[in-house]
Amino acid sequence: MRAKSSRASGDEGVPHVGPGGAPVVLGNEPGSFAWSVLAQRHPALIQQVRDAFPYGLRQHEALDALLDEIANGVVQPLAPADHDHERWAAWGNEHFGRSWYDAPLLWAESYFYRRLLGAVGYFGAGPWQGVDPFAPFKQAELRGDAVDEELRALDALASAPAEERATALLHASLWGNRADLGFRVSAGESATGDTAVSALVADDSATLWELLPAGTSAAVAVVADNAGRELIPDLVLIDHLLEHGHAEQVVLHVKPYPYYVSDAMTADVVDCLRRLTEAPGEAGRIGGRLWRAMAAGSLEACTHPFFCDPLPYEEMPEDLRKEFADAALTILKGDLNYRRLVGDRLWHPTVPFAERTAHFPGPVAALRTLKSDVVVGLKQGTLDALERSGAVWRTSGTHALIQVRP
């Protein structure tokens, strides 16, 4: 897969923000993480989706055309008949007719998933309308033995003091598919707990709990990231917030349609709740409480078109801005939400998190494992130690952060 690059470093002619600025993340530097997303991850995903369903000739030809366009062509607009043609025409006006590699990565990734859904017939009238092309991957993970083990680990936490349980569940939600690291923090396995804590490059968890004291009547917004093994610990954390009085209501925001392979939609929330309710022990009890909370309105699933837009949170629409402004805390999960929150640019890692989130309409917390180049809010000493380590700490998912702006 070759990258058509019109700039050597990716920052020539790119708009900057603020004094000194920071270049937009592009995919036109061969060998970079952003380049690998376009040149390797997306083509592999096209093949996986092709293999997961018995698509017809029309879908196969559309997938082949998308693959060739990314590798050898230029970005093409949506067809005029597509329901969202006008919106994407406005967002992509300056990128159409150019190499995918020269577009901002945040835009290119988002548009790739929109084009992939179009290729398999997700939006159009026909037999494949509304069929999630990523569902087999989500369901396979949810049925896996690892989930059984993680749910059993909840039994060990049932009798733990509330504060220890809160710490464990917060870490479980943070680490997602490494959730067992978090679950076991309070289960007597100190080595595992130490590993999880030492991998945090920033930890504002104390501030998070200060914003949500027990006995509050607060409303909390949680913007989900992945389904399956990440969404289950998110739901377990939400149960803890409700059960122990850290929140009176939680609104769980999910994607309106399939996105970034594993991102959670309402159907994924239902699947995870069923997985919990069918489990024995503490997991089943948590599932039952969450099911009843949905019926009572203390837990609500919600979605908004903005969550699949190629835009930063700084440009969120007013209705969503008001909703977050009314929340005592908005918890943003995952790498993509983080990039959209602070801006998908190559900031210096010590740029303050509060500075990059000043636009957000209320208190905000980011729970994120590091899987892209973008990071802010690190202490200089932490950054120096990470750089000396020689580890690929920005993109490997081996490090994480909890950052809060009150």
Q: What is the pLDDT of residues 352-391, one digit of tens each?
A: 999 999 999 999 999 999 999 999 999 999 999 999 999 9
Instruction: Name the β-bridge partners of 405.
Output: 364
The backbone torsions φ and ψ at residue 364, rounded to the nearest 5 degrees and listed phi first, read: -140, 140
Tens digits of per-residue pLDDT, 289-327? 999 999 999 999 999 999 999 999 999 999 999 999 999
Question: 236: helix, coil or strand?
Answer: helix
Looking at the predicted structure, is the pLDDT value of residue 198 above 90? no
Tens digits of per-residue pLDDT, 4-44? 333 333 333 334 344 447 999 999 999 999 999 999 999 99
Task: Return mean pLDDT, the chain.
Answer: 91
Which CATH code fits 138-405?
A: 3.40.50.10880
- Nearest-angstrom CA–CA distance, 221 and 247: 10
- Nearest-angstrom CA–CA distance, 78 and 62: 13
Residue 195: pLDDT band (50, 70, 90) is low
Tens digits of per-residue pLDDT, 116-127? 999 999 999 999
Q: Which of 341, 403, 400, 336 is nearest to 368 (CA)?
A: 400
Taking residues 112-139, report their average pLDDT: 97
The model carries a pTM of: 0.92
Taking residues 206-221, report their average pLDDT: 95
- pLDDT score of 316: 98
Rounded to the nearest 10 degrees, the angle between the axes of helix 57-72 and helix 105-119 is 160
Q: Please, where are the H alpha helices in 263-333?
A: 266-277, 281-296, 318-325
Please state the domain extents for the chain.
33-133, 138-405
- pLDDT score of 197: 56
Taking residues 249-256, report their average pLDDT: 98
- Nearest-angstrom CA–CA distance, 3 and 106: 17
